[in-house]
Amino acid sequence: MDEQHVLTDRQGSVGRLTLNRPRALNALTHGMVSAISEALTAWEADDRVRAVVISGAGERGLCAGGDIRAIYEDARAGGGASAEFWRDEYRLNAYIARYPKPYVAFMDGIVMGGGVGISAHGGVRIVTERSAVAMPETGIGLVPDVGGTYLLSRAPGEVGTHLALTGAVVGAADALWCGLADHFVRAERLGALRGALGDAIGGGEGEGEAEGDGVGAVRDVVARYAGVAPEGRLAGDREWIDGCYAADTVEEIVDRLYGHGHPAAKEAAETILTRSPTALKATLASLRAARALPTLERVLEREYRASCAALGTVDLVEGIRAQVIDKDRAPRWAPRELSGVSEAEVSRFLEVPVGGDLWGECGGS
């Protein structure tokens, strides 16, 4: 079944990956992560494949994230399977970031959580007018992962802190401005672009003359289909975002947001207070640390520790229950208030998991 959930084919010299769980918004399972990794590994060694394109089946999105129903059941049972899933998923994220051939991600529709991990680390990232990009993990008791704290810590000013704590969804223009994407292409043109990439980077079974090779050729093709994204809002909100989110604690951030006077700042404060207090404090610590870490691999290792730590909290199971299982949108966090989260609890998110770190003997620079 997992093989059917990741479709692979080749057009010309372009290897194509299609996530094929449209009824589940193409949510990633462990088997899908393995299938993507295996395809990329095979294509890296295949001279006939000069570029890779990843997209999602259906009209709703590339990928809504990991299969959190499976994480919910595993967390209730002890959490071993989720740790193994994250280990392979995060290693895949790092592999995508270092992939030696052009990796083109069609970030159309919903792209959240794990969907960001398999797209925003790619070399050529395309958003559309339908794109809805987010890292909403604090709403289910998790810290942003899949390299999300790496990406958000490098967004302009404190915008990444705002997006991480609130889980706010951004459209195409804001994704481009934040550095989560590279090009805007209207959704109706994606099919033609996919075909043009196959034609331009080699035809048939690797035969015939290719018009170009490498990321430059891919970008030349994309440029012919790209346009200007509808206007975003984050750049205009920098003044209150930077001033409020520069605080050292989540409590102070909330106080500054309430005291600023801008309606959007108050709305952000109210959103933050609906999130897991423990996840919020661990997220802020992770973001601040990610700024100083030199590589994606180092950040992913820290995120792996945080995710494994979350498996042992009440909030992860409760957050998924409220958002996905019962859908009552009324999680009962423990503790319920930011003031109840101790420094010791936050420090737990830095500890090496019982089963070992992300890279183990494989290293990671």
Q: Provide the residue type at 168 as one letter.
A: A
- Confidence at residue 64, expressed as pLDDT on a 0 to 100 scale: 97
Supply the DSSP string of 123-164, one letter for each residue.
Answer: SEEEE-TT-EEE--GGGGT----TTHHHHHHTSSTTHHHHHH
φ, ψ of residue 341 to 5 degrees: the values are -95, 115
Query: In this predicted structure, what is the pLDDT of residue 198?
Result: 86
Q: CA-CA distance, 116 to 118, in Å (whole number)?
A: 6
Say what the pLDDT of residue 137 is. Answer: 98
> How far is the C-alpha of 268 from the C-alpha of 264, rounded, in Å?
6
**Per-residue confidence (pLDDT) for residue 365, from 0 to 100:** 46
pLDDT at position 202 is 65
Straight-line distance from the first to the last Cα atom of the chain, in angstroms, rounded to the nearest whole number = 35
- Taking the C-alpha atoms of residue 335 and residue 222, their distance in angstroms, rounded to an integer, is 49
The per-residue pLDDT for 90 is: 98
Q: Could you check whether the bond before residue 230 is cis, i.e. omega within 30 degrees of 0?
A: no
Residues with catalytic roles: 66, 114, 137, 145
Per-residue confidence in pLDDT tens, the chain, 365 aa: 555 999 999 998 999 999 999 999 999 999 999 999 999 999 999 999 999 999 999 999 999 999 999 999 999 988 789 999 999 999 999 999 999 999 999 999 999 999 999 999 999 999 999 999 999 999 999 999 999 999 999 999 999 999 999 999 999 999 999 999 999 999 999 999 999 998 887 644 433 334 445 778 899 999 999 999 999 999 999 999 999 999 999 999 999 999 999 999 999 999 999 999 999 999 999 999 999 999 999 999 999 999 999 999 999 999 999 999 999 999 999 999 999 999 999 999 999 999 899 997 444 54
Angle (CA) 206-208-213 rounded to 5° is 70
- Calpha distance 257→266 (Å, rounded): 6
Tell me the pTM: 0.94
Residue 307's pLDDT is what?
97
